[in-house]
Structure 1
Amino acid sequence: MLLLVGLFGASAAHAEPLPATVAVETASRPLDGYLTFLEDRESAFSIEDVARHGVFEAVTPRRPGLISGGTLWYRFTVKRTAGAAEDWVLAFGEPDIDDVRVYVTKPGGSFTETLLGRRLPARQLDVAVRLHAANLSLPEEIPTTVYIRLSSLHKIRFEAAALWRPTALAYAEARQSALHGIDFGVMAVFVVSNILLGLWLRDASMLMYAVFVVTSMCREATHSGIVTVILSDAGRPLNYLLSAIGLFGGISAFMIMWDLMFDIRKEFPLVHRVYRWGGILMLAPIFFATHDSFSLLAQYAQVIMLAVSIGSITMAFILVLRHPGDVLLRFYLCAFFPIVLLWGVEVGALVFPTIPFDLGRQVDIIATMIHLSILFLALGYRFVVTRQQQAQADAALVLEKMARERQRTFVDMATHEFKTPLAVIDSAVQVLELLLPTAPPEATRRFNTIRKAVSRLVGLIETCLNGERSEAMELNLRPVSPAAIAAQAVARDRETGRGEIRAEMSPLPDTCLADSALLGIALDALIDNAHRYGPADQPVDVVAQALGGWIIFTVLDRGPGVRPDEAELIFDRYYRSPLSGSTSGFGIGLHLVKTIATMHGGTVAYRPRDGGGASFALTIPVA
């Protein structure tokens, strides 16, 4: 008895509210102003203890009766006037409370008990509606005291309590269910459209937006109680799981979504790591949805969500200032306005008694829908802009292909027009050699000079035209012998008689996967480059070797080399080093070599040669 006195208070001198009356014309009677409450944080007391010894406090806007766990007791008295209907329904929220029990006093001091709450599947409830609902049979003109016991691992929130005529409640529930159905239908459209577009465009931000909308649907399904209407077998595990997905999954999706939309990785690298890893870690508490610690985790989650929201709004402002012409960023910033409005309502409810305490819950659904709608419009705008950019890129690609085709046609025509007279000259010299078999040595030497010059000119034309073709060259990979490719390039050079060339072949694979024609062009260009820039009395060295899964063709000369700041520039088209002096050339050969190496998945690189000169290494994979 002393324990009860200590817990409930030594005095019961609290003014009790007047009984709520239901009359003939009453369709529903809100219980605001008729309720008192008692906190039982240890969940230690029975209905008898509470009825006999409990000291209840009046429910006011400043004292609504709200705790994060344990048990809350509510009490009110109701009287049915003469002629009023006998059957009534007591309905109240918040819907996602585990254990709800309604006790009605009977003559003699005993109680009838009705079990409610989300621990029970909806099919076991007397009235399967969104809210907690219990049937009451009220005697005429006799005050009846009703006790409500609320117990939950999650936050306990008591709101929207009222007595209803069954038909009036059915009508109100049908209307609310229809509104929630429209809400869910709109969000389903958001989800499906963004999933399809996100997969089509490979846009991760659209996919994460769809995930965020799904978590919002889970949160609304539990908080509104609509899951009870949809899934008749839904009990506590499903409600806890949906609630955890809505809370922690929502925070995770929110963080990753804004990380992608804001491109935080580029704009705020440190914040990117916080958002990305924070979003992943926020998924862990979902697995503790039915654990006793979930209530504590949920409280921390609310603080984290507030911090993330403030951080995201701040970044939105900064990005709008950084990129004032970006319309999409302005859309994103506007999407936060409903969230800020919701915060204002919730803070106002705490400060100003005239604002209903549960107004924030009503505004929450509207603010969330506006937030999601603005983001949907923003992503729609992003889709339109992306499609326009793709259309422009496709048009540019078509024009480029047409230009390349015209270029290829011109190159083929130019090749023919250049080679035809050269072939005539070469043929004429051969005819002269046949007609003058006993020509003087000087004439024979002149004939050879002419043919070598023609061959050199043909090679020069091939190099220039191949450089122009480099953008449109096609790769024809086949198993070829790398040693044969190098030997053929060396043999072709020896035929020109331009100077000494030495070849060194290390053990090479029998075959490699390559285009022999293109590799021959690349080696010819490197060898030609070495002859033109190297001293005439110094040999050109060609080395072929295998290293790991790569084949390296190296061409070395004793020329002036390349300045360090030009080591990369020399592979650009039309670039010629100041050191080239009067040496003929067009800056095409090395660019062509780089293009062919890249097509093979390889590289070409320059480095100074020991003892002076240049070393160019063409590296390609074996397969």
Structure 2
Amino acid sequence: MISLSKSIRWLFCLLLTLAAAFPAPAISAAAAEPLALGSSEFYYLAGHMEVLKDPSRSMDFKKALEAYGRGEFLPLPGTLNAGYGRNAYWIHFTLKRGVAFPEKSMLSLSPSYTNSVKVYVQRQGRSPLLPSSFSPVLLGSDVPVAERPVLNPNFVIPLDLQADEPVEVFVRVYSKGSISLTGQVATYGSLRNSTYYSIMIQFGYLGIAAVLCVMNLIFFFAIRDRLLLYLVLYVFTVLVNNLAVSGMSTLLFPNHAHLISDYMVYMGIGAQVLVFSEFSYHLFHDFAGLWLLRYIRFMSVVGVLTIISVSLGFYASVVPFALIGIIILITMLLLTSKKLLVSMPQSGIFITVAFGISMLGYFFQIFRLIGIIPLEPGWEINMVEPATLVHMVLISIALSERFRITERQLADASRLSEKRAVEIAEDMTGELRENKERLEVALAAEHLSAERQNQFLTMLSHEYRTPLAIIQGNLDILAINSENGGEEESQELQKMRRAVARLVDVMDVSLMQNRMLDLQVVGTSTIICADEFIRQQVDAVRWMWPERSFTLHSELVEESVFGEAPLLNTALFNILDNAQKYSPCDTAIEIRTWADGDFVMISVSNGIAGISIGDSESLFDKYRRGACSHDTSGAGVGLWLVRKIIEEHGGTVKMNSAAHGRISVGLAIPVERGETPYCQKK
């Protein structure tokens, strides 16, 4: 791996070498030769121009003419290429037409992104020492296209030259960006052909760039890879910038070119730096070192500052650093791309070549913009155009190759995953088959156990009823003896009768397993006086738990219900049992009854000790107990059995929160509308 410090030292040496190879042109003291126009169709101005620097940018044409008379203009060996600065420049050259050159010709000046170009052409037969002898023509990218003499990507002025009579021409040049000027004098036919040729080249370049932009945009929407989006944005910024730099914006947007030219040229460079940096960051994220990634982020910030500087007026101070910074970045990426050749040999070669060509193109163009490389005739082409075109094509091929490799890897991974899934499915099928066999054995054992349990419960029920019958018979004898002796049945004897009746109900409901599991078994239903049935159950729990406080508030009168008494007794008893079991010992259990339309309503409320209201609905599930029921007895079938019994009788059960930290269970049992001779009005 090449360290960042070594790479910077190598780049610095390279910059010094290029600076030595292309030194700034020396200005001689001899006057520039007039441009003699002969039999050729065009003649370059290079080598025939003289220059005068205007640091104040306030020198008018009269003062420039006086300075020319004093010999202050110095000849240029080539063309004006002053780089970025805040100076204005006056250019002078002399045209002398021979008889072989047409009288009507064109003066073409470039580059077309120069902001201000004021041309002063001497009129025929006038003194070259008087300002009034010159015809002024205002040109530049800030001048509306409609005010230009000729619609052309470059700045073109018609000339009317007399044979063997010299014509003096002065040009004032100023630009917010790079200040340079070159040009030629050409015949109408030659300028027309060169313009057509330039337009075809530019639109061909723009067409290829647009196709690449649309193609990668489609790929981005299909694949959603941010690299493709950044590549699209980079191509778009280069395309927009080139429209203005090449002068094509004057042909495409003649009414608005002077308004948007600065933004397209200068902001376009900042946007290219920004997007190129972001594209490079995501492309080399897995290969570049920490300091290179930080430098790329720094260049993104420089790109943003370059964009902002256009509006704030310090673009000329910022853009040289941005251009030098992008050269360093491209060089560093070119060195880092060696890692791509190892990890991605197929696509890495395209990326390496792409950044190598981009580096050459940017080197040439940037050194020309800052004035190291002179703007020689025939080399006016923007070298960034072919470099970025090749760069975009190669990067698109590299990304396509990378996606193809990724797709193949995904396909291999998919096949491997499918194979693994089949193996897992086969293993699971074998396990399911084994589990099925175990389940069948367990079900057979469960059926056998259930059958034995039913037999045991039947036997237990039979054996349990025998002592109950004996107790019940002896209680009847005691009751008869009490009546014969004229005494009322004692309270203890009444309690015993109730206890025996309760045990019989328990036997009928709880011990018969088939009744618990299947409530559809037909039982014996009768008309039951609701108030009496409720009071009996309240008295029973008061007797069973004398330490607890049970209060009954009944508004029932003659309402009756129809159902199986043992089941309804069990349902209400389970509700009262849960109320005393899961409430604090020092709190009262309240029972309220009333008639509500076609239903007898029973509400049992108690304080909350072992039941959370959040568990209310799930507590009616079979074998489900509350979170705080670990220290109480039960199997989790009480409330489930209550709901089954009440729903079997056409009613509903619901648990709700009550006031003052209490919880209530409400039962709704349909009222029997037939004859009710068993209920007497209280």
TM-score w.r.t. structure 1 length?
0.63
Which residue in the other structure is 1:556 paired with? Answer: none
Question: Which has the larger displacement, 328-337 or 163-172?
Answer: 328-337
Higher RCO, 1 vs 2 (CA within 8 Å, ≥6 residues apart): 2
Amino acid at match of 2:388: T
Q: Deviations over 1:250-279 (max 9, x none)?
A: 111111111100125x75345434433641
Q: Which residue of 1 aligns with 2:98?
A: 81
Q: Distance in 2 between matches of 1:128 and 1:276?
A: 42
Deviation digits for residues 138-169 of structure 1, max 9, x if unmatched?
A: 1232111111111122221113x101112221
* CA gap 1:509/1:164 in 2 versus in 1, 3 angstroms: farther
Equivalent residue, structure 2, for 1:120: 143
**Contact 1:14–1:56 under 8 Å retained in 2:** no
User: Corresponding residue for 2:238?
Assistant: 216
Matched, 1:302 2:323: yes
Q: Residue 216 of structure 1 contacts residue 250 of structure 1 at CA under 8 Å; is this kept in 2?
A: yes
Q: Could you tell me how far apart the structure 1 residues matched to 2:391 and 2:432 are?
A: 60
The structure with the larger Rg is 2
Taking a change above 3 Å as real, the CA distance of residues 367 and 59 of structure 1, as seen in their structure-2 partners, is same
User: Displacement, 1:287?
Assistant: 3.3
**Aligned: 1:152 with 2:175:** yes
The worse-fitting range, judged by mean Cα deviation, of 96-105 and 28-37 is 28-37
Conserved in 1, the CA contact under 8 Å of 2:105 and 2:186?
A: yes
Q: State the alpha-carbon separation in 2 of the partners of residues 170 and 52 from structure 1.
A: 37
Structure 1 CA distance, aligned partners of 2:340 and 2:382? 31
> For structure 2, which runs of at least 5 residues remain unmatched after alignment?
1-27, 461-608, 625-629, 632-682
Q: Aligned partners of 1:295 and 1:347: how far apart in 2? A: 14
Q: Deviations over 1:111-133 (max 9, x none)?
A: 10111100112232221212111
Relative to 1, partners in 2 of residues 1:359 and 1:421: Cα closer, same or farther, differing over 3 Å?
A: same
Give the residue type in structure 1 aligned to 2:99.
A
Q: Work out whether 1:70 is the aligned partner of 2:73.
A: no
Aligned equivalents of 1:29, 1:62: Cα separation in 2: 13
Going from structure 1 to structure 2, the CA distance change for 1:30 and 1:274 (only over 3 Å counts) comes to closer
Cα shift at 1:83: 5.8
Residues 247 and 32 (structure 1), Cα distance of their counterparts in 2 relative to 1, 3 Å cut? same
Cα distance between partner residues in 1 of 2:615 and 2:75: 94
Decide whether aligned partners of structure 1 residues 146 and 428 sit closer, same or farther in structure 2, where only a CA change above 3 A counts.
same
Given the superposition, is the C-alpha separation of residues 102 and 438 from structure 1 closer, same or farther in structure 2, using an over 3 Å criterion? closer
| Contact residue 362 and residue 383 of structure 2 kept, 8 A | no
Percent identity of paired positions between Structure 1 and Structure 2: 17
For structure 1, the residue ranges without an aligned partner over 5 or more in a row are: 1-12, 441-503, 521-537, 540-623
Structure 1 match to 2:446:
426
Alpha-carbon distance in structure 2 between the residues aligned to 1:348 and 1:212? 22
CA positional deviation for 1:202: 1.6
Whichever residue aligns with residue 412 of structure 2, its letter is Q
- 1:188 corresponds in structure 2 to 210
Matched, 1:384 2:384: no
Aligned pairs for 1:338-377 within 5 A:
338-342=357-361, 356=376, 359=379, 362-377=382-397
Counterparts of 1:19 and 1:281, CA distance in 2? 45
| C-alpha RMSD over aligned residues | 3.9
Q: Tell me, in whole angstroms, the C-alpha distance in 1 between the residues paired with 2:115 and 2:109.
A: 14
* In 2, Cα distance between equivalents of 1:224 and 1:180: 7
CA distance in 1, matches of 2:150, 2:613: 84
Given that residues 348 and 355 in structure 1 are in contact (C-alpha distance below 8 angstroms), is that contact kept between their aligned partners in structure 2? Answer: no
Please state how far the C-alpha of 1:358 moved relative to its aligned partner.
7.8
Contact 2:56 2:88 in 1 (8 A): yes
Distance 1:511 1:223 in 2: 78
Q: Determine the C-alpha separation between the residues in 2 that align with 1:283 and 1:506.
A: 65
- 1:34-183 matches, cutoff 5 A: 34-54=48-68, 55-61=72-78, 64-66=81-83, 68-82=85-99, 84-106=101-123, 107-108=126-127, 109=130, 110-159=133-182, 161-183=183-205
What residue in structure 1 maps to residue 435 of structure 2?
415
Shift of 1:62: 9.2
Residue 432 of structure 1 deviates from its aligned partner by 4.1
* CA spacing shift, 1:351–1:194, aligned 2, 3 Å: closer
User: What CA deviation, in whole Å up to 9, does each residue of 1:85-122 have, x standing for no partner?
Assistant: 22211112111111111111121431101111001122
Q: Which amino acid aligns with 2:386?
A: I
Instruction: Please list, as runs of the form range in 1=range in 2, the aligned pairs for 1:543-554 lying within 5 A after superposition.
Output: none
Residues 60-98 of structure 1 show CA distances to partners (whole Å, capped at 9, x for unaligned) of 249755552321111111122236422211112111111
1:327 corresponding residue in structure 2: 346
Q: CA offset at residue 172 of structure 1?
A: 0.8
1:268 equivalenced with 2:257 (yes/no)? no
CA–CA distance in structure 2, aligned partners of residues 119 and 62 of structure 1 = 22
2:296 counterpart of 1:279 = no
Pair 1:420–1:240, CA change in 2 (3 A): same
Deviations 1:179-208 (A, max 9, x none): 111111111122111122123212111111
TM-aligned CA deviation for residue 426 of structure 1:
2.2
Q: How many residues were matched structurally?
A: 442
Inter-CA distance 122–344: structure 2 relative to 1 (3 Å threshold):
closer
1:247 matches 2:269: yes
> Is the CA contact (8 Å cut-off) linking 2:34 and 2:95 kept in structure 1?
yes
Q: Which moved more, 1:208-217 or 1:271-280?
A: 271-280
CA deviation digits over 1:345-390, x for unaligned, max 9? 5799899999948848543322222222221211121221232233
